Amino acid sequence: MTRDPSLFPVTLADERRLDRRRFLAAAGTAAAVALLGDRLGRRAERALLVPPDVPTDDLAALAVGEARTLAAADGREALAVRLDAATVVAFDRRCPHLGCPVRWAAERGRFECPCHGAAFDARTGAVLFGPPTRGLTPAGGAGGVL
Within 8 A by CB and 6+ apart from 111, the residues are 79, 81, 91, 102, 103, 104, 105, 119, 120, 121, 122, 125, 136
CATH number listed for the domain at residues 67-144: 2.102.10.10
Backbone φ and ψ of 29, nearest 5°? -65, -40
Quote the pLDDT of residue 32.
92
Quote the pLDDT of residue 74.
75
Is-contact 96 136, C-beta < 8 A?
Answer: yes
Q: Note the pLDDT tens digit of each residue in 116-144.
A: 889 999 999 999 999 998 899 888 754 45
Within 8 A by CB and 6+ apart from 87, the residues are 123, 145
Tell me what the pLDDT averaged over the chain comes to. Answer: 81
SS3 content of the chain, % helix, strand, coil (to 5): 30, 25, 45
Closest CA to 91 of 145, 130, 132, 42: 145
**Measured distance CA(76)–CA(70) in Å, rounded:** 9
Mean pLDDT value across residues 30-46: 83
